[in-house]
Amino acid sequence: MEPIPFHVPSVDEEDIPGVVEVVRGGWVTTGPKCREFETEFGRALGGQLECVAVNSATAGLHLALEAIGLGPGDRVLTTPYTFTATAEVIRYLGADPVFVDVDEATFNLQPSDVRAALKTMTSEQRGSVKAVMPVHYAGLACDMAGFEELGREFGLRIVDDAAHALPTRVDGKPVGQWGDISVFSFYATKTLCTGEGGMAVTADKELAKRMRTMRLHGISKDVFDRYRDSAPSWYYEVVAPGFKYNLGDIAAALGLSQLRRLDKFRDARARIARTYNDGLSALDGVTLPVDAATGDLHSWHLYPLRVDGGRQVRDAFIEELSEAGVSTSVHFIPLHLQPYYRDRYGLQPEDFPVALRCFEAEVSLPIFPAMTDNQMKRVIDAIPAALERARKRATKVARQ
């Protein structure tokens, strides 16, 4: 039998005409399709939002932090249980991430834990904190009302890493309508895929204006305006040392097509999650992921299963599933275990015990809209035997 991949992008025939139209139209970099994509993306999220399309969520996070004025000597409170992009953009600006441990049930940063961390700081340390960066792990929303309250209490900006969180809702509002700036990812594995790409979203027109300027070299006028205006408009000014972060029209055309099927993609992922839940709920030694509260929406970017028994069991379990033809992944290796952050900040594994436990237990199962019923059944059927063999292997190693 064919192995079951961890992910297959949801790109099909419906996506081709828009891309061909752009290629034949003669304008393939940032232009009218990008603007249309920004408009339609904002409309999909609702509210009076400014959307800034970029070539990656990493770029969007960098622009977001630059726009709020983050700089050397500043600090941002965030989670260690995330991909490195969340923290590396803080370092781009000469600021420092300060990690706060996550909640064991959701893997998410909690406002109460961030508040407690702030209160243990000296007044000088607290004064250097400029922002909090929650991450909506796997597509389950953080407590954004709590983070907004925290921001008001301590005078902090809230920039949420929403790479996993499209379309995610909490307390009746989509992620994107909370905090100061939200940044979404359109990477190949995401619910909406442009190959590479992202979107920074804000209700603040001045923040959006700054991000638009900085996404294209700090130039005062978009390239499309300079080259397509009917009147001569060659003159521009460099108002800041910006970046090359713009999204081209080819990717934007793909994004527009994908956006029209966003709910379909999300519903397919939710169906897979329900099937896994039904098939694995009676299995001892595993913990299923938390779903969103009634009335909220989980995007199910990931299905993070947790396996009891420690890292040796988890690692052996991954190998056993691979041998059974089921591809998996691990999300994530916590940043405080990574050499750069570990060495720079003198961190130890036990400094963030919840993140460590989550990492040593987590296995991400395949979840992509094109999964067939047979593939889901094969994954579910493979797990009990793979887990039993993994436990035996770990026990044998422990006795040696």
Residue 49 lies in a domain: yes
**Would you state the pLDDT for residue 398?**
73
* Domain count of the fold of the chain: 2
- Taking the C-alpha atoms of residue 277 and residue 1, their distance in angstroms, rounded to an integer, is 24
The pLDDT of residue 234 is above 80: no
Once rounded to an integer, what is the mean pLDDT over residues 159-187?
Answer: 98
Q: Are residues 226 and 295 in the same domain?
A: no
190 counts as catalytic: yes
**Would you state the pLDDT for residue 281?**
97
Domain end (from 261, 290, 320): 261
Q: Are residues 72 and 168 in the same domain?
A: yes
56-88 tens-digit pLDDT: 999 999 999 999 999 999 999 999 999 999 999
Q: Are residues 184 and 222 in the same domain?
A: yes
| Percentage of the chain exceeding pLDDT 70 | 97
Residue 138 lies in a domain: yes
Q: Are residues 273 and 252 in the same domain?
A: no
298-356 tens-digit pLDDT: 999 999 999 999 999 999 999 999 999 999 999 999 999 999 999 999 999 999 999 99
Residue 5 lies in a domain: no
Distances (CA, A) of 379 to 89, 243, 304, 324, 331: 36, 43, 14, 9, 18
Tokens of 191: 């619910």
The pLDDT of residue 284 is above 70: yes
- Taking the C-alpha atoms of residue 145 and residue 147, their distance in angstroms, rounded to an integer, is 5
Residue 2 lies in a domain: no
Tokens of 2: 């064919």
- 94: domain range? 13-261
The pLDDT of residue 30 is above 60: yes
Confidence at 236, pLDDT banded by 50, 70, 90? confident
* Residue 334 CB coordination number (10 Å): 25
Domain end (from 240, 261, 282): 261
The pLDDT of residue 224 is above 70: no
* CB neighbour list of residue 232: distance below 8 Å, 6 or more residues apart: none
Residue 3 lies in a domain: no
Strand, helix or coil for residue 89: helix
**Would you state the pLDDT for residue 229?**
57
Once rounded to an integer, what is the mean pLDDT over residues 30-55?
Answer: 96
Q: Are residues 254 and 150 in the same domain?
A: yes
Q: Are residues 276 and 327 in the same domain?
A: yes
Residue 341 lies in a domain: yes
Q: Are residues 346 and 362 in the same domain?
A: yes
Q: Are residues 103 and 128 in the same domain?
A: yes
Q: Is the peptide bond before 167 cis (omega within 30 degrees of 0)?
A: yes
* Pairs from 96-102 (Cβ < 8 Å, separation ≥ 24): 96/345, 97/335, 97/341, 98/129, 99/335, 99/336, 99/341, 99/347, 99/351, 99/352, 101/352, 101/353, 101/354, 101/355, 102/137, 102/352, 102/354, 102/355, 102/358
Residue 168 sits in a domain whose CATH number is: 3.40.640.10
The pLDDT of residue 39 is above 60: yes
99-130 tens-digit pLDDT: 999 999 999 999 999 999 999 999 999 999 99
Would you state the torsion angle of the CA atoms of residues 293, 297, 303, 304, taken in this order, to the nearest 10 degrees?
-50
Q: Are residues 46 and 178 in the same domain?
A: yes
Once rounded to an integer, what is the mean pLDDT over residues 206-232?
Answer: 79
Q: Per the residue annotation, which of 33, 130, 173, 190 is the catalytic one?
A: 190
Torsion-angle region of 94 (φ positive above 0: left; ψ -120 to 50: alpha; else: beta): left
**Would you state the pLDDT for residue 1?**
85
The pLDDT of residue 363 is above 90: yes
- CB 37 within 8 Å of CB 258: no
Q: Are residues 155 and 38 in the same domain?
A: yes
Its pTM stands at: 0.96
Q: Measuring CA to CA, which residue among 116, 150, 119 is closest to residue 132?
A: 150
| Percentage of the chain exceeding pLDDT 90 | 92
User: Average model confidence (pLDDT) for the chain?
Assistant: 96
Residue 122 lies in a domain: yes
Residue 11 has phi, psi (to 5 degrees) of -115, 125
